[in-house]
Structure 1
Amino acid sequence: MRIKATESTLLIIDIQERLLPAILDSDSMIEHAAWLQQIARRVSVPTLLTEQYSKGLGPTAAILREGVAAESILEKMEFSSAADGELFKRPGGDRKQFVICGCETHVCVMQTVLDLLAHGSQVFVVEEAVSSRRASDKELALQRMRQAGAQIVSREMVAFEWMERAGTELFKSISREFIR
């Protein structure tokens, strides 16, 4: 199955300021998520952000929060972003495909992915845009999500599938600005 811009939502899970110092390669994870978010905007893919207990963990990193409407930010206490069904009521939450970035891979990301799969969604986890405190937890979570039916992908896989074809003005501008 291919990732379609018209059928997918970018879901950025709990990339929050106070959590980041404990996360492996957090700067790289944020950079990859922001890169994908910028492309999502260009191809009209909605972005949803979740924040786990923002009172304690702070807001989403500023670079990711910029330009995101309040109704596209979901405050939560459950580890899974899809546990209470509120996610599906947000702009883009009714689409059948979810492209996932976030932390922690083995907790909130994985539980969200498992619930989305149980809901019947198609799920694509962007390997370089997820992280945990320990590399081993990330790797185990990626294995488990793959076994459960999620597709583990790279950011470029997502971008090229969203664009679908070369030769368009969109392709040319995204290639110039983002593909190196």
Structure 2
Amino acid sequence: MLNKHDTGLVVVDVQGKLAHLVGDGHQVIQRIATLIEGAKALGLPIVWLEQNPTKLGVTVPELALLLAPLSPIAKFTFNGCANEAFCNAVEQANVHNWLVCGVEAHICVYQTALGLKERGFNVEVVVDSIASRVEASKDLAITKLATKGVGLTNVEMCLYELVQDCRAPEFKTILNLIK
């Protein structure tokens, strides 16, 4: 079970034109925005990745605005865990559970989630907040991740799991985000 004291969020490569070319792109961006706002309300650490931003573009403005004042970690490897700055940020967050969202499901999200799992973290991919250009690629990523022991969740499920109690001070915020 996730808890807000031991969980963080990784946002993977929601950048440039690609973020809008993936299946259900606009809705996925909206769900990632909800997830970021929920993570912030719950006080979760957030780590933000960008794949080769000079070539692919920067994070879409609607998410970059929510993620500020954080700075993205630029990477060139598909697996964020092959990047020293990312690994340092993950370690400094001092949590054991990571939620992962972003683009593309079958490449950078898949490899980063497995990289975190291989480093001993509990990982859950937020399946309604990941996307690929081809739906079958997203489906394949989800299937392979599940067979390798990565948990699956969605925005509403993980946020309510993290808030745990309707009397919690963050509950109203989470409720309003989900509505």
User: TM-score interval w.r.t. the shorter chain?
Assistant: over 0.9
Distance, in Å, in 2 between the alignment partners of 1:72 and 1:121 is 23
Q: Is the 8 A contact 1:88 1:94 kept in 2?
A: no
TM-score normalised by the chain length of structure 2: 0.92
User: Does residue 143 in structure 1 map to residue 143 in structure 2?
Assistant: yes
RMSD: 1.6
Moved over 6 A (4+): none
Q: Is the 8 A contact 2:12 2:103 kept in 1?
A: yes
Unaligned residue ranges in structure 2 (runs of 5+): none
Note the C-alpha offset of 1:88. Answer: 2.6
Distance, in Å, in 2 between the alignment partners of 1:31 and 1:93 is 25
Note the C-alpha offset of 1:165. Answer: 0.8
Unaligned residue ranges in structure 1 (runs of 5+): none
User: Does residue 80 in structure 1 map to residue 104 in structure 2?
Assistant: no
Q: 1:6-155 to 2 correspondence within 5 Å?
A: 6-69=5-68, 72-90=71-89, 93-155=93-155
Q: After the TM superposition, which of the residue ranges 69-78 and 50-59 deviates more from structure 2?
A: 69-78
Q: 2:171 is matched with which residue?
A: 171
Note the C-alpha offset of 1:178. Answer: 1.7
Q: Is the 8 A contact 1:47 1:72 kept in 2?
A: no
Note the C-alpha offset of 1:26. Answer: 0.6
SS at match of 1:149: coil
Map Cα deviations across residues 113-151 of structure 1 (whole Å, 9 max, x no partner).
111111001001011100001010000110000011111
Map Cα deviations across residues 88-127 of structure 1 (whole Å, 9 max, x no partner).
3127544211101101000000011111111001001011
Note the C-alpha offset of 1:70. Answer: 6.3
| Count of residues in Structure 1 that have an aligned counterpart in Structure 2 | 178
Distance, in Å, in 2 between the alignment partners of 1:95 and 1:72 is 19
TM-score normalised by the chain length of structure 1: 0.92
Distance, in Å, in 2 between the alignment partners of 1:53 and 1:23 is 18
Distance, in Å, in 1 between the alignment partners of 2:48 and 2:152 is 20
Q: Is the 8 A contact 1:23 1:132 kept in 2?
A: yes
